[in-house]
């Protein structure tokens, strides 16, 4: 998740970035990296929510599932892995709100935004499609139950894990996406960034999920929301607009704040 200015191949500040080959990866390589990174994020995070969040109970009645904390960690860990694996190729956005936010901040070329967003949506849908395919070979009725339960989609009102309404969903998506972008822009700054950018970004996403899973199942990523809603049915699809519009609003706010205040030249 790179905020530097010199194209999609600029690496995150990390010792894992290649140092001996200065050639810039091609546009195709960047596109594929965004597909794979978003696939990893959705397959790992949504997969944990579907398969492991509430796995059942043991012989002593204790839960065997990972719960909200485990799901939050899963999303964070996938971003850490994806950032270091694919960040040096594409910048490691994996999220349309991140791409738009970086472009708003002047740290990414607007001409590349549509291609990146297309790659992210493709990667996310591929992730949930393979999760559904796994479910086909699961216990009888598992897939239909998962789809009836929303397929780990985002939602508000009756679709909110904690019963929170539309206003709460809008606020958490705008605020937490803005926070996420500000962290990304800070830790990947070309002069003030850190070699541990991928870790900082992943831990921030974990924190975001710990805060907001009970509110709306946490989006801050339209590609993740689209991917889950496709298999979640009518309810999630009807509410999907919230999780497309407001993460992008949060990304734009963060981009403007960074460009005109935090990174403004004296």
The pLDDT of residue 22 is: 57
3-state secondary structure of 63: strand
* pLDDT tens digits, one per residue of 62-97: 567 899 999 999 999 999 999 999 999 999 999 999
Using an 8 Å Cβ cutoff, are 221 and 172 in contact? no
Give phi and psi for 5, each to the nearest 5. Answer: -95, -10
Domain locations in the chain as residue ranges: 27-262
Is residue 19 very low, low, confident or very high in pLDDT (cuts 50, 70, 90)?
A: very low
**Cα(183)–Cα(262) distance, integer angstroms:** 12
Is residue 10 very low, low, confident or very high in pLDDT (cuts 50, 70, 90)?
A: very low
The pLDDT of residue 262 is: 87
CATH number for the domain running over 27-262: 1.20.1080.10
Helix (H), strand (E) at residue 255: helix 234-257
For residue 107, give the nearest of 118, 92, 120 by alpha carbon. 92
Name the pTM for this structure: 0.89
- Identify the bridge partners of residue 63 per DSSP, sorted by sequence position: 57
Using an 8 Å Cβ cutoff, are 256 and 104 in contact? yes
Q: Is the pLDDT of residue 240 over 80?
A: yes
CB atoms within 10 A of CB 114: 10
Contacts of 38 (CB under 8 A, 6+ apart): 94, 95, 119, 120, 121, 122, 123, 124, 127, 223, 224
**Cα(237)–Cα(50) distance, integer angstroms:** 18
Q: Is the pLDDT of residue 147 over 60?
A: yes
* pLDDT tens digits, one per residue of 31-52: 999 999 999 999 999 999 999 9
**Cα(50)–Cα(243) distance, integer angstroms:** 19
Using an 8 Å Cβ cutoff, are 28 and 110 in contact? no
Q: What is the mean pLDDT of residues 179-189?
A: 96
Q: Is the pLDDT of residue 118 over 50?
A: yes
């Amino acid at each position: 998740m790179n905020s530097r200015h010199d194209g999609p191949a600029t690496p995150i500040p990390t010792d894992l970035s290649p140092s001996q080959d200065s050639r810039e990866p091609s546009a195709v390589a960047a596109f594929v990296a965004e597909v794979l990174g978003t696939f990893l994020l959705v397959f790992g995070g949504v997969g944990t929510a579907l398969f492991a969040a509430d796995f059942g109970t043991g012989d002593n009645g204790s839960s065997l599932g990972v719960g909200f904390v485990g799901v939050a960690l899963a999303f964070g860990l996938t971003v850490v892995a994806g950032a270091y694996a694919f960040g040096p190729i594409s910048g490691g956005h994996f999220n349309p709100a991140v791409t738009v936010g970086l472009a708003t901040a002047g740290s990414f070329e607007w001409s590349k935004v549509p291609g990146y967003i297309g790659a992210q949506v493709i990667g996310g849908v591929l992730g949930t499609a393979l999760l559904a395919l796994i479910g086909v070979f699961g216990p009888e009725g598992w897939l239909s139950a998962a789809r009836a339960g929303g397929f780990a989609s985002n939602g508000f009102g009756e679709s909110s894990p904690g019963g929170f309404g539309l206003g709460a969903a809008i606020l958490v998506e705008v605020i937490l996406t803005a926070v996420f972008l500000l962290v990304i822009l800070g830790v990947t700054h070309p002069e003030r960034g850190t070699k541990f950018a991928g870790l900082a970004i992943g831990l921030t996403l974990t924190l975001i999920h710990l805060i907001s899973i009970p509110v709306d199942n946490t989006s801050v990523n339209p590609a993740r929301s689209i991917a889950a809603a496709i298999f979640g049915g009518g309810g999630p699809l009807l509410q999907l607009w919230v999780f497309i519009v407001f993460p992008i609003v949060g990304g734009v706010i963060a981009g403007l704040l960074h460009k005109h205040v935090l990174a403004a030249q004296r």
